[in-house]
A and B are shown apart, each in its own frame.
Chain A
Amino acid sequence: SAVISQKPSRDICQRGTSLTIQCQVDSQVTMMFWYRQQPGQSLTLIATANQGSEATYESGFVIDKFPISRPNLTFSTLTVSNLSPEDSSIYLCSVDRTGRAFGYTFGSGTRLTVV
């Protein structure tokens, strides 16, 4: 299965600032996904990062708050903008498992704390 490296693993940020999270995959993948996991909660899909086109956002998530880049088939970034304490969460990237139609591999996540 694909190996995913996510950076940073954690960060503490001041409110009003932004944090950019990087996701690097060791093989080319068509689709990359960004999820949010609020404290003690399950995972919620933020958006699908498509190479060569705009990201597709889920209901409740907007590009101005969560801009996404996908410059190639192995890399994506998620920026969480204008941070507030409510943005304190774990952010995870995910890719389709190599060679399978379903079943998705996750990175280890970025734990963001906004103070």
Chain B
Amino acid sequence: GESVGLHLPTLSVQEGDNSIINCAYSNSASDYFIWYKQESGKGPQFIIDIRSNMDKRQGQRVTVLLNKTVKHLSLQIAATQPGDSAVYFCAEIPSGNTGKLIFGQGTTLQVKP
């Protein structure tokens, strides 16, 4: 069945280093992928999205890479800051479905000062 999973449950990085959070998906027909950040006690916050016809998209300090050949998605955070500490989720939107988000299990990012 459809699934979106993450490779590592916890990632610990030093402040100032770059972070890479990975995600594998199984539905090759998905149209969109989204990365969310969830801080404790808050709802998920949209970070960046990417269409299935793109390989890379950049935002402020963040870059999302999509490799459709191996069905892999990654989020790169440059110069990681303590405020980046949170749980990060990738989410997938199946083709033709404008409402349903399929979430991965989440990666906890811990930034050490």
| In the complex, chain B residues whose CB is within 8 Å of the CB of A1 | 46
Interface residues in A, total, Cβ within 8 A:
27
The prevalent SS among residues of B at the interface is loop
A contacts, CB < 8 Å to B: 1, 4, 6, 31, 33, 35, 41-45, 48, 58, 92, 94, 96-97, 101-109, 111
Q: State whether the Cβ of B83 lies closer than 8 Å to any Cβ in chain A.
A: no
- The CA of A44 and the CA of B104, in the complex, are separated in Å by 10
**Among the listed stretches B14-22, B56-64, B92-100, which one makes contact with chain A, having 4 or more residues with CB under 8 Å of it?**
B92-100
Give the size range of B's interface with the partner. Answer: 20 to 34
Q: State whether the Cβ of B31 lies closer than 8 Å to any Cβ in chain A.
A: yes
Shortest A108–chain B CB gap in Å is 5
Check A43–B44 contact: CB distance below 8 A: yes
Given the interface pairs A101-B98, A107-B43, A108-B43, the reply to whether A43 lies near B31 with Cβ below 8 Å is no
**Which residues of chain B (13-52) have a CB below 8 Å from chain A?**
31-32, 34, 36, 41-46, 49
Check A31–B101 contact: CB distance below 8 A: no
| In the complex, chain B residues whose CB is within 8 Å of the CB of A43 | 44, 89, 91, 101, 103
| 16 contacting pairs across A/B (C-beta < 8 A) | A31-B99, A33-B99, A41-B105, A41-B106, A42-B89, A42-B104, A43-B103, A45-B99, A45-B100, A94-B101, A96-B98, A102-B31, A103-B46, A104-B101, A108-B41, A111-B41
Check A42–B34 contact: CB distance below 8 A: no
Check A44–B103 contact: CB distance below 8 A: yes
Shortest B33–chain A CB gap in Å is 9
**Knowing that A102-B34, A102-B49 are A-B contacts, what are 5 other residue pairs whose CB atoms are under 8 Å apart, sorted by A's residue number?**
A41-B105, A42-B103, A45-B100, A102-B31, A108-B43
